[in-house]
């Protein structure tokens, strides 16, 4: 059974791409055959995986235009056995305009994944920082949603809007879509704001915050320049270990397995 998870938050800079990349590598380390889907025209995931978006002749944009199949544009990720990517290029920005003219536009990605999804244990979709048609395609194709949340006030303001979009997708395109939980990123246990932000996910939105939180680290900023995730660049770091634990939790359970706790470690 393939788990298809969309990683979404319309606010930029909350570590969506880092989360997809890190969970992908961690899942492959667990022996799960994993496919990463880059739905962001900025192609940051594609670049972080060691590919040059400007040098690619085909991408997921061409899949959306029905020029090629998803299998035709897949790339193995160098240095990580069992990890593959459907890359993006800046051309993906034009896909949004094209999709708006198509009947059933919200199902295009889901249909493209049908022939290949069963070959993988996990598919992770990196949604763009918006609630447009590309993100809706990601949500429609997914079984569940992971919400990376930077532990600050501005990051949580958009969660309500994202949840409204998820409800719309459930009503019109994907009734089985579930929120698998929030991943707290750039967490600093020394600050009251970080702890309050996580706690409000449970009290205000009823969302589970998955354990452990991912703490701030300069290693996350350094790794993409080498085409590596933090698990490869700094394998013994706290950030790498956090994503390994999160990948293990995703492997071992459906949303109910994570419970409803929004607890986080106390300040030291």
Residue 267 pLDDT: 33
Structural domains present in the chain: 3-258 (3.40.50.300)
Cβ atoms of residues 122 and 5 within 8 Å: yes
Query: Beta 83-86 vs 34-38: how paired, if at all?
Result: parallel
Q: Which two tokens stand for residue 235?
A: 């394998």
pTM for this prediction: 0.92
Average the pLDDT over 214-241 and give the result.
91
- pLDDT of res. 83: 98
Q: What is the pLDDT of residue 145?
A: 96
Count of all residues that appear for the chain in the document:
268
- The count of other CB atoms within 10 Å of the CB of residue 121 is 18
- Higher-pLDDT residue of 137, 96: 137
Identify the band that residue 260 occupies on the pLDDT scale cut at 50, 70 and 90: very low
Pair 35, 120: CB distance under 8 Å: yes
Q: Which of 27-31, 49-53, 126-130, 188-192 has the lowest mean pLDDT?
A: 188-192
Give the pLDDT confidence score for residue 154 in this predicted structure: 61
96 is written with which tokens?
């949004």
Angle at 136 between CA 26 and CA 194, to 5 degrees: 55
């Amino acid at each position: 059974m393939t788990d298809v998870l969309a990683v979404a938050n319309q606010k930029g800079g909350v570590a969506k791409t880092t989360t997809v990349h890190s969970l992908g590598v961690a899942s492959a380390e667990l022996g799960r055959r994993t496919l990463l889907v880059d739905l962001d025209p900025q192609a940051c995931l594609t670049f972080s995986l060691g590919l040059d978006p400007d040098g690619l002749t085909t991408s997921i944009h061409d899949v959306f235009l029905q020029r090629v199949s998803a299998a035709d544009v897949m790339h193995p990720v160098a240095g990580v056995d069992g990890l593959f990517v459907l890359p993006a290029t800046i051309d993906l920005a034009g896909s949004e305009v094209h999709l708006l003219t198509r009947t059933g536009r919200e199902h295009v990605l889901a249909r493209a994944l049908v022939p290949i999804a069963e070959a993988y244990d996990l598919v992770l979709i990196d949604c763009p920082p918006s609630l447009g048609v590309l993100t809706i395609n990601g949500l429609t194709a997914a079984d569940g949603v992971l919400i990376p949340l930077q532990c600050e006030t501005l990051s949580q303001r958009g969660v309500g809007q994202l949840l409204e979009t998820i409800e719309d997708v459930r009503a019109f395109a994907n009734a089985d879509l579930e929120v698998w939980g929030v991943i707290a990123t750039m967490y600093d246990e020394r600050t009251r704001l970080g702890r309050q932000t996580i706690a409000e996910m449970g009290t205000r939105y009823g969302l589970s915050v998955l354990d452990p939180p991912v703490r701030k680290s300069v290693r996350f900023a350094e790794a993409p320049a080498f085409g590596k995730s933090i698990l490869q660049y700094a394998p013994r770091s706290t950030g790498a270990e956090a994503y390994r634990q999160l990948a293990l939790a995703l492997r071992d359970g459906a949303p109910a397995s994570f419970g409803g706790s929004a607890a986080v470690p106390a300040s030291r």
